[in-house]
Amino acid sequence: MSIAENTSLEQEGTRAIVASPHRGRRKRDAEPRERTVISDRDLQRPVVKWALRTIEVLVAVSLVVVGAGPITWLFKAATSTAQDTVRDPFGLWPGGFQPQIMGQAWTQLAVGQSLWNTVILALGSWVATLFVCVTGAYVLSVLRPKWGNVLSALILATLFIPSVVSLVPLYLTILELPLTGGSLLNTYWAVWLPAAANAFNIVIIKRFFDALPRELFEAARMDGAGPLRVLWSIVLPLSRPILGVVSLLTIIAAWKEFLWPMLVLTDTALQPLSVSLPRLSGTSEISLLMAGLFIAVFIPVVLFLVFQKQFLRGVGMTSAVKG
């Protein structure tokens, strides 16, 4: 074999080696992707595309009806007369739109006073919960005393106790305090203090504090910062996400709480909406009652729409801890 033939063979081999990655890449690109329920080829068919769009629209409309339907009907009933609601529940204002029923419910059912009581209970529970849970988690996660493991075990043990089981001992404690012998009945403290002692909130805040870099705490201590300074200047600014989640969950829970406020707040002037509206259900017109229910439901819905990201994040943290 001549030198020219050897040179031509080497050049062909080099071109084959250089071109082989491109051919392999083209082959990989030509390979079909992993098949799902509907393949890409089926999606290009007009019939499949039309059917898929129809299913998507039906699912979206169904979700809207299921989610917004009850609230929409409640608004319709709150702005209709009692006769229209009983005679034609699904009719769109047969007797005309009656927005003044909202004002009548506000005054005749004392919805304004009950709403104010609900706001006070929710804000008080929020402040008490943040104070107790943040300080408790800070002690267990950052300060880490020698008895911290025992305290953590006791806090976790309370998560396995059903709330119904602790209802009677808690009520007896509120009825007669162990040390002072006084009573917290018909006071907002009877709702605020039990809400603050929430083991679940302490656990999720402690887990968030555990993830914070401890080098920051050590550097702050070397600079002469005390425990309160570290908590206020370092821990709290870094913990805004978890504090927002706990705040939202606490306010929503306090807003819809029914059984405990009914037991400890027997004075009707102190009862929230969740207690006063069921009490008035047997003596009030259905139109006024529907208006009061709509006012009670409207505010939590607005809070959810405004803080839905934080709420969904809180639900994710809840499922992660329970799992």
pLDDT in tens, 215-255: 888 888 888 888 889 889 889 998 888 888 888 889 888 98
Nearest residue to 168 (alpha-carbon basis) of 259, 276, 272: 259
Tell me how crowded residue 231 is: count the other CB atoms within 10 A of its CB: 20
Nearest residue to 213 (alpha-carbon basis) of 234, 242, 241, 243: 234
Structure tokens belonging to residue 217: 């705490």
Q: Which residue has the higher pLDDT, 31 or 299?
A: 299
Say whether 121 sits in a helix, a strand or coil.
Answer: helix
Tens of pLDDT, residue by residue over 128-167, are 999 999 999 999 998 888 888 898 888 888 888 888 888 8
Nearest residue to 71 (alpha-carbon basis) of 311, 306, 296, 308: 296
Q: What's the pLDDT at 37?
A: 63
Instruction: State how far the Cα of 304 lies from the Cα of 208, in Å rounded to an integer.
Output: 23
What are the phi and psi torsion angles at 79 (to 5°)? -115, 25
What are the phi and psi torsion angles at 90 (to 5°)? -105, 10
Mean pLDDT (whole number) for 279-294: 84
The answer to whether residues 203 and 119 touch, using CB atoms and an 8 Å cutoff, is no
For residue 238, the surrounding DSSP H or E stretch is helix 236-238
B/e letters for 260-282, b = 16+ CB within 10 Å, e = fewer, are bbbbbbeeeebbbbbbbbeebee
The answer to whether residues 220 and 227 touch, using CB atoms and an 8 Å cutoff, is no
DSSP 8-state code for residue 152: H
Q: What's the pLDDT at 70?
A: 84
Residue 34 binned pLDDT confidence (cut-offs 50, 70, 90): low
Question: Does the structure show a pLDDT above 80 at 176?
Answer: yes
Instruction: State how far the Cα of 141 lies from the Cα of 154, in Å rounded to an integer.
Output: 15
CA angle 146, 152, 157 (to 5 degrees): 145
Long-range Cβ pairs for the range 282-288 (8 Å, 24+): 284/108, 284/109, 285/82, 286/77, 286/82, 286/85, 286/86, 287/77, 287/78, 287/80, 287/81, 287/82, 287/85, 287/98, 287/101, 288/101, 288/104, 288/105, 288/108, 288/109
Question: Does the structure show a pLDDT above 70 at 109?
Answer: yes
Tell me how crowded residue 47 is: count the other CB atoms within 10 A of its CB: 8
Residue count of the chain: 323
Q: Which residue has the higher pLDDT, 192 or 35?
A: 192
Half-sphere exposure of 256 (CA within 13 A, CB side): 10
Q: What's the pLDDT at 3?
A: 46
Arithmetic mean of pLDDT over the chain: 81
The answer to whether residues 199 and 166 touch, using CB atoms and an 8 Å cutoff, is no
Q: What's the pLDDT at 86?
A: 83
Residue 30 binned pLDDT confidence (cut-offs 50, 70, 90): very low
Q: What's the pLDDT at 116?
A: 92
Say whether 197 sits in a helix, a strand or coil.
Answer: coil
For residue 309, the surrounding DSSP H or E stretch is helix 308-322
The answer to whether residues 314 and 248 touch, using CB atoms and an 8 Å cutoff, is yes
Q: What's the pLDDT at 13?
A: 52
Structure tokens belonging to residue 147: 């008895």
The answer to whether residues 78 and 287 touch, using CB atoms and an 8 Å cutoff, is yes
